[in-house]
Amino acid sequence: MTGLNRRAVLLGGVALTIAGLPALAAEVPAPQAGKGLIVFYRGGGQGAAVRYTIEGPDGLVGEMKQGAVLFSHMPPGDHLYRVPDANNTEGVISIAAGETKFIDCYLDAATNTGKLQFREVSADRAMKTISKY
């Protein structure tokens, strides 16, 4: 393969990958039967290179990094979520069957350590950010 052909193939592959990402990230599933859905997401901004893990009642939810969207299907009730490697950030999220809650995960710039914070936001606001990734 010549240098020009190799570059064309690589650029085409990169373009297809980038074009496909927003559609995949913007798809939020419906809650499972009898459960609620908690959607954790993190947009861009300060501390883009910083990553944290989120733990829920059932164990690890996933790694929170820039552009991440994590789903947690839970039975109705109050559920404790925590980020042990971020100064023990934690919060209780109440969910009802059939309900979807969107949780914006952002770094608090007011602290020296960049503590990860949780904030519930509207579906419209969340999807504006989620659709970018």
Greatest mean pLDDT among 32-36, 50-54, 105-109 lies in 32-36
For residue 7, what pLDDT band results from cuts at 50, 70 and 90? low
15 has pLDDT over 50: no
Q: What is the mean pLDDT of the segment spanning 52-58?
A: 92
Residue 94: predicted pLDDT:
97
Q: Examine the pLDDT at 99 and tell me if it is beyond 90.
A: yes
Bridge partners of 50? Answer: none
Q: What residues contact 96, with CB distance under 8 A and at least 6 apart?
A: 36, 76
Nearest 5 degrees, angle CA 22-CA 117-CA 84?
Answer: 100
Q: Is the pLDDT of residue 18 over 70?
A: no
pTM score? 0.75
Report domain extents, the chain: 3-130
- Checking if the pLDDT of 11 tops 90, the result is no
Q: Which residues contact 38 (CB under 8 A, 6 or more apart)?
A: 71, 72, 74, 79, 81, 93, 95, 100, 101, 103
**3-130: CATH, from 1.10.260, 1.10.287, 2.60.40, 1.10.860:** 2.60.40
